[in-house]
Structure 1
Amino acid sequence: MDRRKDGPGLTLMSHEGTPYRFDPGALCLELLPTGGPGVFARFEVLHTPADLVTWAGHSRLADGLDLTVDEDQLARARALRNALFLLTADRAHGRPLRREHLDLINAAAAEPPLVSRLGADGSRSWAPGATGTQLLSTVARDAIDLFSGPYANRIRECGAHDCRLLFVDTSRPGRRRWCAMEHCGNRAKVRAHRARRAPGEGA
């Protein structure tokens, strides 16, 4: 996972080993590709506290975050991620939100968040000495803003049958279907093109 300097979003790897850009549209949703519950545990990348620090540096958070994470905070990060994963999937498919997931997110949000600072040049920076608990609070508060905000009805799962990436469609038209056009979107276009050509080729 990597992040470009020219905008939000993550660089993910396809099953074929090809990198592609994925912007889930919100900080909290950027945590989901790091793994997940059940069968998604095989994608786990948060194995050590340093992995969570690395993720934070690749996220929407500004550069220069001085972050320290311990093992307990790492375990809570995975638990928050798993709850958020299931909550987001439920929202995307119109299912009721489960109390146990809401309770975990609300508990994380109740902790003090990261402290931002405004520089003389108008830039934002972070107060030094940030902790994993503050990071998780910031992520949880972002999730609350998303699920209670104007884009809550645009939380979706990628339209590809073999992709489970979740995102919020913040585009003006509101017609986003794919995790990324350069990945699942292009694959769908290729399949549709082949399907249109197939009858003629058979004849």
Structure 2
Amino acid sequence: MATWTRTLTRPDGQSFRFDPGSFALELLVSGGPGELRVFEALHAPDDLAAWLADSRLAATAPFTAADVRVTEAELAAVKELRDAFWRVARSMVRGGDLPSADLDVLNAATAETPRPVVDPHTRALTWARPITGTQVLGAAARDAVELVARGGVRECSADNCGLLFVDTSRAGNRRWCSMERCGNRHKVRAHRARHETETAEAQ
């Protein structure tokens, strides 16, 4: 899928750009299980349609929320997949055993995906309309199982973060979800620590 950066707004009001590196990992920022429910953005089918119109899927081939058809049952399935992938991905980055029941959820959802087509008038890549919730589920599931199989998912190094991403940096040493947020905070803390050490040594 195309490179894409999503703007996130945290509970503290700070907005920052975040590139998770994959559609499945992008889906994780829409909410999640347990303590992540405070970030829930997908309360109704229309919420998922609007969220998708600003996603990596739309970056690959543009569409609007009006092009998406999602039922309540499909929304529930997408959220179940998202929550299962949260648990699987966290286990991956923390070196734990992958939960088999959650892997079953991912594997069972890979059948149907959005259908790419060429617009006969513009010759541009687009998606066959409507894009259904089941197709969205399949796109996220396929992306998720590929990530599980090949690895490369990392967790932001900040103690109070936890966002997950694929490290696509040339050097392969990405540590932060965003340099605007966690990376910059680390730099500020490191600078203050050096200043305090230098001040103490000079006294």
TM-score (norm 2): 0.90
Instruction: Say whether 1:113 aligns with 2:113.
Output: yes
User: What's the counterpart of residue 189 of structure 1?
Assistant: 187
Q: What secondary structure is seen at the aligned counterpart in 2 of 1:36?
A: coil
Deviations 1:42-75 (A, max 9, x none): 1111101011111111110122152100111111
User: What's the counterpart of residue 37 of structure 1?
Assistant: 33
User: What's the counterpart of residue 68 of structure 2?
Assistant: 67
Task: Report if aligned partners of 1:93, 1:156 keep a CA contact under 8 Å in 2.
Answer: no
Q: Tell me which amino acid in the other structure corresponds to 1:35.
A: G
Q: What secondary structure is seen at the aligned counterpart in 2 of 1:144?
A: helix
User: What's the counterpart of residue 3 of structure 1?
Assistant: none
Q: Tell me which amino acid in the other structure corresponds to 2:186.
A: A
> Percent identical across equivalent pairs?
45
Pairwise CA RMSD? 1.6
Structure 2 alignment gaps of length 5 or more: none
User: What's the counterpart of residue 135 of structure 1?
Assistant: 136
Q: What secondary structure is seen at the aligned counterpart in 1 of 2:154?
A: strand
Instruction: Say whether 1:89 aligns with 2:90.
Output: yes
Task: Report how many aligned residue pairs link the two structures.
Answer: 194
Structure-2 separation of matches of 1:105 and 1:61 = 18
Q: What secondary structure is seen at the aligned counterpart in 2 of 1:61?
A: helix
User: What's the counterpart of residue 172 of structure 2?
Assistant: 174
Structure-2 separation of matches of 1:160 and 1:50 = 33
Task: Report if aligned partners of 2:157, 2:175 keep a CA contact under 8 Å in 1.
Answer: yes
Deviations 1:126-165 (A, max 9, x none): 001221011100110111222223xx1x211100000010
Q: What secondary structure is seen at the aligned counterpart in 1 of 2:57?
A: coil
TM-score (norm 1): 0.90
Structure-2 separation of matches of 1:134 and 1:87 = 21
How far off is 1:15 after superposition? 3.8
Q: Tell me which amino acid in the other structure corresponds to 1:116.
A: P
Q: What secondary structure is seen at the aligned counterpart in 2 of 1:42?
A: helix
Q: What secondary structure is seen at the aligned counterpart in 1 of 2:29?
A: helix
